[in-house]
Amino acid sequence: MATRNRTEVTEFVLLGLSSWPEMQPVIFGIVFSMYLVALMGNALLVIVALSDPKLQTPMYFLLSQLSFIDMFLTTITVPQMLVHTLSANRTISFNCCMIQLFFFMAVGSMEGHLLAAMAYDRYVAICDPLRYSAIISHHLCLRITVTSWVVVSLNSLLYSVLVTRLTFCDNQVTHFFCDITPLLKLSCTRPVVNEMLIFTEGVAVVVSPFFFILGSYARIGVAIVRMHSVSALRKALSTCSSHILVVLLLYGSVIRMYLQPSSSYDLDQDRQVAIFYTVVTPMLNPLIYSLRNQEVKGALRRLFKKLPISGSFQPGSQVNRRCQHVS
């Protein structure tokens, strides 16, 4: 459907990941499996971080917030995409599309701010360990989290309002959710204001946490080079490696999706990067933090030991009870 007036566009058609009908069940099975793993992994990490007494530190508070963000981010886009994969009707109303755009941009930006806060936490822990407790506190982390939510929400609201004022010439969105770049492609005129905001205000809000992370790790790198203790060096590298990997996964996708000239933008490649950003990365994050973190693995073992079912399947438990009964 083509239109020459924005007011005539009451809904958009999301074309999804692929137009091949035979690929839809395969896509559904793969994405649904990854979505369940992402939800369960991040939910488990949140439960462990908030319930285990040994993890009641500012770092693990931030980690629990990151896991919550990952669950929120993938839930904004994936369930709708799964429904559209097996349905002939792939429409989304104009208002729902703008709401999805707002939450996706806010939550996606929030992830970068949390990673910046975690980088600052690691910087203080390595470069100024004696004053760590005086500088980093739960109250500070809570203030950072609330302030970041306010900033990213206002930024996302600005973008959403500007998109609603565009004049659309088509309603066929070459994507599986309402993202800003595919929507800008549907504009009848070049959205100069929106593009300027992406490369100015958008860079300030979205990319500035990345530069803050780079600065923090530059200072950490200097501190690591000066360490003469092999055990201290190994501990510092182990502490930062998981965070660095998550940062690379996030900002590699963000830079590829948004921070490139519109002339070089490829919608098909963007969909591939988007599925990595919205499904694969949230699935990998809890695995990265749990497999490489001894404290998290210890907390998981303690959690599973508390489960009622764990005691009933201990080897020899039933034999011991029978022997006690006979005696």
Q: What is the mean pLDDT of residues 129-144?
A: 92
Of all residues in the chain, the percent with pLDDT exceeding 70 is: 86
Q: Which residue has the tokens 């693990």?
A: 60
Half-sphere exposure of 214 (CA within 13 A, CB side): 7
Token digits of residue 286 = 């809890």
- Other Cβ atoms within 10 Å of 320 Cβ, number: 11
pLDDT of 295 strictly over 50: yes
Q: Which residue has the higher pLDDT, 254 or 136?
A: 136
Average pLDDT over residues 251-274: 74
Of the candidates 131, 119, 113, 137, the one whose C-alpha atom is nearest the C-alpha of residue 61 is 137
With contact defined as beta carbons under 8 Å apart, do 164 and 98 qualify? yes
**Crossing angle of helices 138-164/94-127, nearest 10°?**
150
For the entire predicted model, the pTM comes to: 0.84
Q: How far apart are CA 259 and CA 242, in angstroms?
A: 25
How far is the C-alpha of 191 from the C-alpha of 6, rounded, in Å?
14
CB 19 within 8 A of CB 175: no
Please state, in angstroms and rounded to a whole number, the distance separating the CA atoms of residues 198 and 192. 10
Digit-coded pLDDT (tens) for 78-119: 999 999 988 888 899 999 999 999 999 999 999 999 999 999
Q: Which residue has the higher pLDDT, 254 or 65?
A: 65
pLDDT for residue 230 = 72
Half-sphere exposure of 41 (CA within 13 A, CB side): 22
Q: Name the token pair of 300.
A: 């998981």
Structure confidence at residue 325 (pLDDT) = 46
Label residue 263 by pLDDT band (50, 70, 90): low
Which segments of 165-207 does DSSP mark as H helices, in order? 180-185, 192-199, 201-202
Domains in the chain, CATH or no CATH each: 11-306 (1.20.1070.10)
pLDDT attached to residue 3: 43
Q: Which residues contact 26 (CB under 8 A, 6 or more apart)?
A: none
The residues, any chain, with a CB within 8 Å of residue 37's CB and separated by 6 or more, are: 283
Q: Which residues contact 271 (CB under 8 A, 6 or more apart)?
A: 17, 174, 175, 176
68-85, pLDDT tens digit by residue?
999 999 999 999 999 998
Residue type, 316: G
Report whether pLDDT(259) > 70.
Answer: no
Burial annotation 268-287 (CB, 10 A radius, 16+ → b, else e): eebbebbbbbbbbbbbbbbe
pLDDT band with cut points at 50, 70 and 90 for residue 264: low
Helix runs in 86-179, H state only: 94-127, 132-135, 138-164
Work out the end-to-end distance of the chain between its first and last CA atoms, rounded to an integer number of angstroms: 82
265: left (phi over 0), alpha (psi -120 to 50) or beta: beta
Residue that is written with structure tokens 């905001």 in the block: 197
Q: What is the pLDDT of residue 309?
A: 55
Segment 165-218, tens digit of pLDDT: 888 888 899 889 999 888 888 888 777 776 777 667 777 787 889 999 999 999
pLDDT tens sequence across 271-294: 888 888 899 999 998 888 876 677
pLDDT exceeds cutoff 70 at 322: no
Cα–Cα nearest to 146, from 62, 247, 266: 62
Q: What is the pLDDT of residue 211?
A: 92
Eight-class DSSP state of 91: E
Instruction: Quote the CA–CA distance of 153 and 201 in Å, as a whole number.
Output: 13
Residues paired with 12 in a beta bridge: 92
More confident residue, 314 or 33: 33
In the numeric block, which tokens belong to residue 293? 């973190």
d(CA 250, CA 279): 12
Helix residue ranges, H only, 168-226: 180-185, 192-199, 201-202, 208-225
